[in-house]
C-alpha cells in the first residue's frame, strides 16, 4: 500500500484519546492538534533547503533555510482542525480551502467551496483527518491538479484501506501520510474502529 504511517508512541497515545468515545470536545481538539504537529514534521522531512552562511557567536558555519513555499489546503470542515499546527511550524505557509461534504445516505462528497492560491512550483499539502471511501480526497486532488499543483502530499489522521486504494488508483503520484491505517469501512462508510465523525467531535456538533 502506498501509505506511510507515523510510528511513534506519542502518536499512538494521541490516537487513543481521539478514538475514545468519552473524550471531551476540548481534549479531542487538543489531541488532534498535537498529532497534526507530528504529522507536519514527518510530512516535511524531505523539503529542500538552501545553504546559508552565517556566523554563530563562536565561528562561521553553513546553515540551511527552507527553499520551497508550502501551500496548506485543509478540506472543510474537519481539515480546519489541522491548520493551526502547520501554521505554527511554518508561519509563512499560504492557505487554500476546499469545502466538501459527504451525503449522509450515499457517502458521495459534494464540493461547496473552493479558494486556492497559486500552486505551481510550491509544495501543496492537502490535509483531511479522515480518508474513508477516498471520494473526498480524490475530488480534492483533482481540483488541486486542475489548479496547477505539481508537488502534492496528502496528510490524514486515520485512513481506511478502501480510501488508500482509491488514492493509489486515481493519484498514484501523491504520497500519503497518516497516523493510523484502520481495518475497514462499515456499511455507512464509517472507518472501523475509527473515531466516529471527526467534524462533529471537533466542533461539538
Residue from 35, 71, 73, 109 touching ligand PRP (CB under 6 A): that is 109
Q: How many of the chain's residues bind ligand PRP (CB under 6 A)?
A: 23
Residue from 66, 101, 165, 168 touching ligand PRP (CB under 6 A): that is 101
Contact flag: residue 156 with ligand URA (CB under 6 A): no
Q: Rounded to whole angstroms, what are the CA distances from 90 to 56, 64, 125, 174?
A: 23, 15, 12, 21
Q: Answer with the entry of ligand URA, ligand PRP, none that 190 interacts with (C-beta below 5 to 8 A by kind).
A: ligand URA
106 an active-site residue? yes
102 an active-site residue? yes
Contact flag: residue 132 with ligand PRP (CB under 6 A): yes
Site string for ligand URA, 176-195 (x = CB under 6 A): --------------xx--x-
The alpha carbons of the chain give a radius of gyration, in whole angstroms, of 18
Residue from 40, 127, 132, 181 touching ligand URA (CB under 6 A): that is 132
The set of catalytic residues is: 102, 106, 197, 200
Residues that bind ligand PRP (CB under 6 A): 75, 77-78, 100-102, 107, 109, 128-137, 163, 189, 197-199
Residues that bind ligand URA (CB under 6 A): 78, 130, 132, 190-191, 194, 197-199
Amino acid at each position: 500500500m502506498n501509505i506511510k504511517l507515523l510510528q511513534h508512541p506519542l502518536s499512538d497515545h494521541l490516537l487513543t484519546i481521539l478514538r475514545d468515545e468519552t473524550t471531551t470536545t476540548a481534549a479531542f481538539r487538543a489531541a488532534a492538534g498535537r498529532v497534526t504537529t507530528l504529522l507536519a514534521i514527518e510530512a516535511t522531512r524531505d523539503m529542500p533547503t538552501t545553504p546559508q552562511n552565517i556566523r554563530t557567536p563562536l565561528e562561521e558555519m553553513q546553515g540551511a533555510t527552507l527553499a520551497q513555499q508550502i501551500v496548506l489546503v485543509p478540506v472543510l470542515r474537519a481539515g480546519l482542525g489541522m491548520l493551526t499546527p502547520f501554521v505554527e511550524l511554518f508561519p509563512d505557509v499560504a492557505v487554500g480551502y476546499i469545502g466538501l461534504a459527504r451525503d449522509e445516505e450515499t457517502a458521495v462528497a459534494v464540493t461547496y467551496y473552493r479558494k486556492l492560491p497559486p500552486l505551481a512550483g510550491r509544495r501543496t499539502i492537502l490535509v483531511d483527518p479522515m480518508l474513508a471511501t477516498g471520494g473526498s480526497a480524490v475530488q480534492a486532488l483533482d481540483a488541486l491538479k486542475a489548479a496547477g499543483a505539481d508537488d502534492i502530499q496528502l496528510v490524514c489522521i486515520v485512513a481506511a484501506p478502501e480510501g488508500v486504494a482509491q488514492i493509489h488508483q486515481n493519484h498514484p503520484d501523491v504520497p500519503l501520510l497518516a497516523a493510523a491505517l484502520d481495518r475497514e469501512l462499515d456499511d455507512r462508510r464509517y472507518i472501523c474502529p475509527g473515531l466516529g465523525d471527526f467534524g462533529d467531535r471537533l466542533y461539538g456538533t
